[in-house]
Amino acid sequence: MAPGGGVETGSPGGNVSDFETLMFSPMPPLVVEGVAACSRLHKLWEAADKEKTLAEIAPRIRGIATGGGHAKVDGDMLGRFPNLEIVSSFGVGYDHIDAGWAGKHGIVVTNTPDVLNDEVADTTFGLMLCAVRQLPQADRYVRAGNWPKAPFPLTASLRGRTLGILGLGRIGRTIARRAEAFGMKVIYHGRRPQDDAPYLYFPTAAGLARSCDILVAITPGGPETKHLVNADVLEALGPNGIFINVARGSVCDQDALIAALRDRKILTAGLDVYADEPNVPKELIEMEHVVLLPHVGSGTKHTRDAMGQLVVDNLRSFISGRGPLTPVAETPWPATRRAS
């Protein structure tokens, strides 16, 4: 136990400094060990009385390592740590953290960009192929012993299809390159056209949906992109259209999506993310023609290790005075120090 009853750890043989870091819930072992090796780590989940422990250690906490469960890290939470300097988050998306609040209070937030681009793009293509070619359904068909009775019905195809990418960022561009290799035409929407992108730009999500066959959402989550894919966009995608969501559940109006699938306003969907994870609505589960994944876009050992290492490296670099490696846009480095 740490002085005052908190749960204290620290790598026995490591360089445990006087920089104190908090972890709310268990993170991958590589992260726990790495953070404990470069700082004095408090594992909140091991505390008998979490509130009491938090109150005791809060003034000493200078770093937070978080992510994995998307528990909200809002201004109220961050405000409990008067000497907080850095939040190192696991995952490229950080919509669960109020980075704007952090920036205004001189706290740097880091995420794990780029190391997962290929993995998420691979998953997107797997999901897209599954949804278009109905591969999980075909697998179920064989297992149910239906093949000897009749051939599996013909499906839609990727041939001659246009891929609409909603969010042509690091992952969006990686998806686009794979689509080119598949012989697909690529078009995109974002808040602005990108001069160096060799794809046609559409100024609205509905315009993009109207001009593509398969719409892939891969924007950040959060209030700015909330329900970017709504009933109008799904209507524009049309009855042969396929929607793939690998962004965040909040990017799509889930009720509108369920209605569009039910009423066959679109052909099908492949989803990796949902409005209230890990809860998936019964309506979606009961729909035979949709493909549902449990948020596994980056879910391989290789890529999760790379993400975890970046969480540790950001903290280690910051603690040693070299600054964060991958600060998010809202908390550029060097940060504006605390005004109050």
Q: Cα-flanking dihedrals φ and ψ of residue 254, to 5°?
A: -65, -35
Q: How near is the Cβ of 224 to ligand NAP at its closest, in Å?
A: 4
Identify which of 243, 240, 239 has the alpha carbon closest to the alpha carbon of residue 257: 243
Q: Cα-flanking dihedrals φ and ψ of residue 96, to 5°?
A: -85, -5
By the rule CB under 6 A, 219 interacts with ligand NAP: yes
**201-221 CB burial, b ≥16 within 10 A, e <16:** bbeebbbbbbbbbbbbbbbbb
The interface region with ligand NAP, picked from 146-154, 179-187, 217-225, 311-319 by CB under 6 A, is 217-225
Residue 242 CB-half CA count within 13 A: 26
- 20 in catalytic set: no
Q: How near is the Cβ of 91 to ligand 8YV at its closest, in Å?
A: 2
By the rule CB under 6 A, 6 interacts with ligand NAP: no
By the rule CB under 6 A, 298 interacts with ligand 8YV: yes
6, 28, 34, 93: residue in contact with ligand 8YV (rule CB under 6 A)? 93
Q: How near is the Cβ of 248 to ligand NAP at its closest, in Å?
A: 5
CB 318 within 8 A of CB 63: yes
By the rule CB under 6 A, 270 interacts with ligand NAP: no
User: For the sheet containing 162-166, what is the strand order?
Assistant: 200-201, 185-189, 162-166, 214-217, 242-245, 268-271, 291-292
335 is written with which tokens?
A: 């940060």
Residue 324 CB-half CA count within 13 A: 23
Q: Binding string to ligand NAP for residues 106 to 125, with x set by CB under 6 A, is what? A: -------x--x---x-----
CB 62 within 8 A of CB 84: yes
- One-letter amino acid of 248: R
- 248 in catalytic set: yes
Catalytic entry in 248, 264, 288, 316? 248
269 is written with which tokens?
A: 């969907």
Residues of this chain, 179-238, that bind ligand 8YV according to CB under 6 A:
none
- 170 in catalytic set: no
Judged by beta carbon, residue 218 or residue 266, the one nearer ligand NAP is: 218
Judged by beta carbon, residue 236 or residue 311, the one nearer ligand 8YV is: 311
User: CB neighbours (10 Å) of residue 269?
Assistant: 26
10, 28, 34, 67: residue in contact with ligand 8YV (rule CB under 6 A)? 67
Residue 68: name its binding partner from ligand 8YV, ligand NAP, none (Cβ under 5 to 8 Å by kind). ligand 8YV
3-state secondary structure of 150: coil
Residue 218: name its binding partner from ligand 8YV, ligand NAP, none (Cβ under 5 to 8 Å by kind). ligand NAP
Catalytic entry in 277, 283, 322, 337? 277
6, 34, 63, 91: residue in contact with ligand 8YV (rule CB under 6 A)? 91
By the rule CB under 6 A, 226 interacts with ligand NAP: no
Q: Which residue is nearest to ligand 8YV (CB)?
A: 91
Q: Give the number of residues in contact with ligand NAP, rule: CB under 6 A.
A: 29
CB 131 within 8 A of CB 184: no
Alpha helices in 151-300 (DSSP H): 170-181, 205-211, 231-237, 254-262, 282-285
Q: How many helices (H) and strands (E) would you count in the chain?
A: 12, 12
3-state secondary structure of 81: coil
The interface region with ligand NAP, picked from 126-134, 170-178, 259-267, 331-339 by CB under 6 A, is 170-178
Query: Which residues in this chain contact ligand 8YV in the complex, by CB under 6 A?
Result: 67-68, 70, 90-93, 116, 297-298
Query: Which residues in this chain contact ligand NAP in the complex, by CB under 6 A?
Result: 92-93, 113, 116, 120, 167-172, 190-192, 218-221, 224-225, 228, 246-248, 272-273, 295, 297-298
Active site residues: 248, 277, 295
